[in-house]
């Protein structure tokens, strides 16, 4: 696998992913940087969101490296401040897949679909079929971050300056 598009094809063989975003975790900034999306008009590559790592879903994914299933609209509304935009596109369920290297989370893959498409069995299938690709995905994330955000750039809000 050499690209995020190839990764999406691989994921689609295992789980539906009509909306897929890949986010790099920037620990120094406590933010997530979007490095890939299937919906660039709504969720542009390069957008960065400061986040607080709390005991909620983000801590589960970033700190512990555990997958998260938000199977319905209620879960989505608790997770995303932009849930109205997400729902307007027809999505109301999410799987967050942390990508780790050497026990450290380097990013997340977010898969979104209409309610009812994701189940605990979907998570089990993803783990069984895709987890072997983590190092490759981590390399893709890291190389994309370096292209989007050179080391000398400063972060400010949702944009790079």
Q: What is the pLDDT of residues 102-143, one digit of tens each?
A: 888 999 999 999 998 888 888 888 888 776 667 778 777 877
- Please report whether residue 33 resides in a domain: yes
pTM: 0.80
- Counting every residue, how long is the chain? 161
Spell out the residues 6+ positions from residue 17 whose beta carbon is closer than 8 angstroms to its own.
8, 11, 38, 111, 112, 113
The residue assigned the tokens 């809000």 is 157
Q: Which CATH number do you get for residue 56?
A: 3.30.450.40
Q: What is the pLDDT of residues 11-26, one digit of tens each?
A: 888 888 899 999 999 8
- Please report whether residue 152 resides in a domain: no
Domain that holds residue 130: 4-146
Spell out the residues 6+ positions from residue 4 whose beta carbon is closer than 8 angstroms to its own.
22, 35, 36, 140, 144
């Amino acid at each position: 696998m050499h690209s995020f598009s190839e990764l999406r094809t691989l994921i689609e063989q295992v789980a539906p992913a009509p909306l897929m975003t890949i986010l790099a975790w920037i620990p120094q900034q406590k933010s997530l940087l979007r490095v890939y999306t299937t919906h660039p008009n709504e969720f542009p590559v390069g957008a960065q969101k400061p986040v607080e790592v709390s005991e909620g879903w983000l801590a589960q994914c970033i700190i512990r490296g555990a997958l998260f299933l938000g199977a319905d609209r209620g879960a989505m509304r608790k997770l995303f401040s932009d849930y109205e935009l997400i729902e307007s596109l027809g999505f109301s369920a999410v799987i967050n897949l942390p990508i780790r290297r050497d026990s450290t989370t380097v990013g997340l893959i977010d898969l979104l679909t209409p309610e009812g498409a994701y189940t605990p069995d979907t998570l089990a299938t993803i783990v069984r079929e895709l987890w072997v690709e983590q190092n490759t995905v981590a390399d893709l994330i890291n190389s994309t971050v370096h292209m989007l955000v050179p080391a000398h750039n400063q972060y400010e809000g949702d944009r790079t300056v």
